[in-house]
Amino acid sequence: MVSNVHVDTNHAALASSLLSEQARAFRESVEDPKQFLSSCDGGDPGTPEQPSVWLFGVEPGWSLEDARGADLPEGQDVPRGDRYPVEQQLQWPFNRNAFKLLSALDGGHPSDFREFALRVRPFEKGCKGFFKGNLFPLALNKIATWHADAQRHTGFQEKGQYQEWVRRVRFPIIASQIATCRPGLVICAGTSHLSDFLAVTQTPDAQPHTFSVNGHVKRMYLSRSGLVPVAVVPHLSGGANGLNSDAAVAMAADLIKRHVLFPE
């Protein structure tokens, strides 16, 4: 009688053998803890003695550079610089709003974001005190997107399969890095993935906080119950319920400071 373990092993081996070289390389890189830092956007992960502020999104956005690379031959990745310059980041709504939040947490005003970014240079190679990455490493233009290029790149026919695989192989790596580096604060952007963010930060629970701006309710989750302080905020790219105004960013920063960074 053939054991289930033997059958599962053979099935996994067969599935691996059917992967394209591009998909196999992608999976190997995601599974390798040594490649974790290179899979993130950039910055300084910090140490327990000199902790950084981490910003984690759900997945990278799909840029014009990605679109140009979609026509590359199979197995050839989009050529990228590794500096992640602030001047380039300032072109993207997500990063601009992130800079607004960081500026407010630093004691400034959200409107000071450009001056703050050019002075501190968050997430840029060689910066100190800031680090940026994503739960899911593949760049896509929308959370619901899953197209033929993504299927070819990952070897998964459905996005749900890809996400469950990432949760199994990448989330423990993220959790280990957070446990090693002990960020002073992990800002997680995207409340729809609250459970995923709590899992990677090893946070047992988080308290909801709501506030309203111009009739639009904003919800965020804050916690000091785990290894590191955590703030799960609405997505930073806009939307009626997101941090889409300076007033909303300032209120979110105030809640983070009062309940997470400097609790009474």
Question: What are 130-150's pLDDT values in tens digits?
Answer: 999 999 999 987 777 899 999
| 245 or 73: which leads in pLDDT | 245
pTM: 0.87
pLDDT band at 70; cut points 50, 70, 90? very low
Q: Residue 239: left if φ>0, alpha if ψ -120 to 50, beta else—which one?
A: left
Query: Would you tell me the crossing angle of helices 159-169 and 171-181 to the nearest 10 degrees?
Result: 40
Q: Which two tokens stand for residue 251?
A: 């209120």
CATH (residue range 4-261):
3.40.470
Q: Look up tokens 């000091």; give the residue.
A: 224
pLDDT score, position 17: 54
Q: How many CB atoms lie within 10 A of CB 64?
A: 7
For the purposes of burial, counting CB atoms within 10 Å of the CB of 98, is it exposed (0-12), middle (13-18) or buried (19 or more)? buried
Q: How far apart are CA 35 and CA 53, in angstroms?
A: 20
